[in-house]
Amino acid sequence: MVGNQKRKRGECFVIAPIGDDRSSTRERTDQVFEYIIGPAAQDCGYDVKIAHRMSTSGMISTDIVSSIVEAPLVIADLTEGNANVFYELSLRHVIGKPVVQIVQESHPVPFDVHNVRTIKYALGVKEAVEAKTELVRVIEALDEEPPNNPILQANKLSVYFVEDAAGPDDLKSMLDSLFLAHRVRYKVIEGFFDRAYDKDNEAKIKRLSENVQAVLRESEARGFMQRTRMFQAFGRHEAMGKRTFEGAGEILPKLLQAIAEKKIDDITEHLYEWQGNNDLYILVALQRCKEIIDENSDPGVLADFVEYLKGEERIGESAPFGKAGDVEVDGEAGMDSPR
């Protein structure tokens, strides 16, 4: 692919139907990538990537999801109405970052996205050049246009995904996660190590399993699997926030496997890993809370943090932490669901 290089703008990720090797779908997608999308994106200063040249896995990979979420630009080829394409496009729509739709002239644009500007292309030499020129024009215009798609229009989700000044919602996200991080610290990890000299490994492992599952249920109830808002709440500490989340995601499957196999040495090793990761998360989240309080003049923000500190003082004691809730950890009442 050739093109006049401009200032570097980062990655342009291409969503397209892939098909099997040597299939007509693969042949068309490669031609569109080589003669229309690639040259246009490169002319605009982007490094271009496409899924089937990144991974051979049939399941959508972490790298692909990361590109869909993080790339400054996504171009989606809607030709054939491919289900994988629309799954990936929906992820991009929820994030609310720039995306350009294209489709082959002979294929209709599905109803749900027909109101979104879509570039039509054909693969004749003249038509491909025209499509490439139009794609360059649309990409360049994105600098002047706010993101727009059916999800943002219908649900006004942009308020959750567009970064803005730190405020009460950022603090609430941090405090909710800190409550759970302290649950992990005191009730799961230290709760296990406090019984280090207990010879009844069966009972220790059973109690640990119950505590881990309770924390996972509480995490799900609080919506912590929806991490985009959480990462943005970290502000300038976002990279560290992601690192600790990803660290926990790597440790937990190993811990759960060790629990299932009742391997006490492996359990101990993974709990030490989790302890270090969890303590780092707490330190970074507390630092972010301090920054939010310093940046915000709302007295309610400080009051929320004071309430958190009161709860932190009690979390390691025998009394239930916070108000009585639906989740029990180590036989004690858990926290309420988020306010």
pLDDT in tens, 207-230: 899 888 888 887 776 655 456 667
Query: What's the whole-number average pLDDT of the chain?
Result: 77
Q: Are 219 and 282 members of one domain? A: yes
Compare 247 and 54 and report the one with higher pLDDT.
247
Q: Are 172 and 316 members of one domain? A: yes
b/e map of 239-276 (b: 16 or more CB within 10 Å)?
ebbeebbebbeebeeebbebbeeeeeeebeebbebbbe
Residues 6+ apart with CB under 8 A from 225: 219
Can you give the pTM of this predicted structure? 0.47
Residue 245 falls inside a structural domain: yes
Q: Are 173 and 247 members of one domain? A: yes
Residue 262 falls inside a structural domain: yes
User: CATH number of the domain that 21 lies in?
Assistant: 3.40.50.450
Residue 319 falls inside a structural domain: yes
Q: Are 130 and 185 members of one domain? A: no
Is residue 113 within 8 A of residue 150, CB to CB? The reply is yes
Residue 25 falls inside a structural domain: yes
Residue 19 falls inside a structural domain: yes
Cβ neighbours around 114 below 10 Å, total: 12
> Would you give the distance in Å from CA 211 to the centre of its chain?
25
Query: What's the CA gap between 274 and 283, in Å, rounded?
Result: 14
Q: Are 147 and 173 members of one domain? A: no
Q: Are 94 and 203 members of one domain? A: no
Q: Are 110 and 241 members of one domain? A: no
Q: What is the pLDDT of residue 335?
A: 32
Is the predicted pLDDT of residue 309 greater than 70, yes or no?
no
Q: Are 149 and 182 members of one domain? A: no
Compare 178 and 313 and report the one with higher pLDDT.
178
User: Average pLDDT of 15-38?
Assistant: 94
Residue 5 falls inside a structural domain: no
Q: Are 138 and 85 members of one domain? A: yes
Q: Which range among 113-122, 150-159, 186-195, 297-306 shows the weakest confidence by mean pLDDT?
A: 150-159
Residue 141 falls inside a structural domain: yes
Listed residues 161, 180, 214: the one ending a domain: 161
Residues 6+ apart with CB under 8 A from 173: 229, 230, 233
Q: What percent of the chain has pLDDT over 90?
A: 26
Q: Are 148 and 43 members of one domain? A: yes
Is residue 321 within 8 A of residue 181, CB to CB? The reply is no
Listed residues 161, 182, 217: the one ending a domain: 161
Q: Which range among 74-88, 108-122, 187-201 shows the weakest confidence by mean pLDDT?
A: 187-201
- Counted domains in the chain: 2
Is residue 119 within 8 A of residue 138, CB to CB? The reply is yes
Helix, strand, or coil (residue 298): coil
Query: What's the CA gap between 55 and 175, in Å, rounded?
Result: 38
Condensed to tens digits (0 to 9), the pLDDT of residues 113-160 reads 877 889 999 999 999 999 999 999 999 998 777 777 776 665 544 344
Q: Are 82 and 220 members of one domain? A: no
Residue 4 falls inside a structural domain: no
Q: What confidence category does residue 3 fall into, taking pLDDT thresholds of 50, 70 and 90?
A: very low
Q: What is the torsional sign of CA 91, 94, 96, 102?
A: positive
Is residue 334 within 8 A of residue 219, CB to CB? The reply is no
Q: Please report which helix (H) or strand (E) contains residue 238, including its range.
A: helix 238-261
Is the predicted pLDDT of residue 61 greater than 70, yes or no?
no
Listed residues 97, 131, 161: the one ending a domain: 161
**Domain residues for 156?**
10-161
Q: Are 174 and 149 members of one domain? A: no
Query: What's the CA gap between 285 and 55, in Å, rounded?
Result: 34
